[in-house]
Structure 1
Amino acid sequence: MRASLVGTAVTLAAGALLTAAMTTASASPPDATAPKADLPRPVLVDCLWHRDVRPADFILACGDGNSRLLGLHWSQWGPNAATAVGVNAVNDCKPYCAAGTFHSYRVTVRLDRPQPWKKDPDVQHYTRMILTYQGARPDGFQQVVTYPLWD
């Protein structure tokens, strides 16, 4: 009987110590060295005003679709910038766009300059896209082309 009482007392004491330790730990202020919550990642707004993160494809020429980014592989999507590699498929529009041929050009894509989105000011969206052609490029294009992105 005495052994049973001692065992019960030890169990109750251990439970009380565990409860006290957990209560103290949960009531203490957050550790200053603990990682902070991630900032919301900016989005890329497309032609139809849809927001996306790390899209595989993106239409650059919203009116006719004659320039688009395909096969995008994102290496970074952060609070200040995003970077991908892919292909820019561009219609040569020869002899006219409906009869033209699409040609593919390897590009590096960089998004930056996040700003609040007018449609939803709580959402940050990238406002600039920079394409860097890695070799061949469409006629009349510079090696680096900068596009403002719609709001």
Structure 2
Amino acid sequence: MRGSVTGTAVLLAAGALLTAAMTTATASPPVTATTQPRVGTSPSHTGASQPVLVDCLWNRTVRPGDFILACGDGNSRLTGLHWTEWSPQGATAVGTNMVNDCKPYCAAGSFHAYPVTVRLDDTEPWKKHPDVQRYSRISLTYQEGRPEGFKQVMTYPLWD
């Protein structure tokens, strides 16, 4: 019994450290109002005229290459994002949604890659910085296959 408890504790601690490392790796420095967007770079930053994408660490970016969707455990993230549009009306990218199947449980699960089209929209002032417009909604359209229980189009609110 004691070995089982110890093994579980070690596994949970390793999962927490992995989640912290994955979350920290996507952090970006704050954006300044004088920084101009650089088309085709990832991540790039923006001035006040461009809407931003706020991540789970409250950093703002423009055209990020990666983005964590499941901040609590890192079990869903967008990778390899290539942006074709970024404007106050919306942003569009193609990339991959890496999703953990959590079978038999999340720490022992496997990640699977699903090609997606990402759409950001519904800009509104960011509560933390009311002079900055941020995207408040993200939609993922699965191109071929999708995680178990997901619809072809999944829409989520974004952090404020």
Q: Same fold (TM over 0.5)?
A: yes
Identity of aligned residues (%): 73
TM-score w.r.t. structure 2 length?
A: 0.70
Shift of 1:56: 0.2
Partner of 1:146: 155
Partner of 1:60: 69
1:38-117 to structure 2, matched below 5 A, reads 40-117=49-126
Aligned mates of 1:47, 1:135 — CA distance in 2: 27
Shift of 1:80: 1.4
Q: Is 2:136 the partner of 1:127?
A: yes
Q: 5+ unaligned residues in a row in structure 1: which ranges?
A: 1-37
Shift of 1:39: 7.7
Give aligned pairs, total.
114
- Matched-pair contact (CA < 8 Å) for 1:88–1:105: yes
Aligned mates of 2:131, 2:51 — CA distance in 1: 10
Shift of 1:79: 1.3
Partner of 1:6: none
Q: Which amino acid aligns with 2:116?
A: V
Q: Runs (4+) of structure 1 moved beyond 3 Å?
A: none
Q: Which amino acid aligns with 2:82?
A: H
Partner of 2:39: none
Give the superposed CA RMSD: 1.2
Larger radius of gyration: 1
Q: Which amino acid aligns with 2:88?
A: P
Give SS of 1:113's match.
strand
Q: 5+ unaligned residues in a row in structure 2: which ranges?
A: 1-46
Deviation sequence 1:44-65 (CA, Å, 0-9, x none): 0000000000000000000000
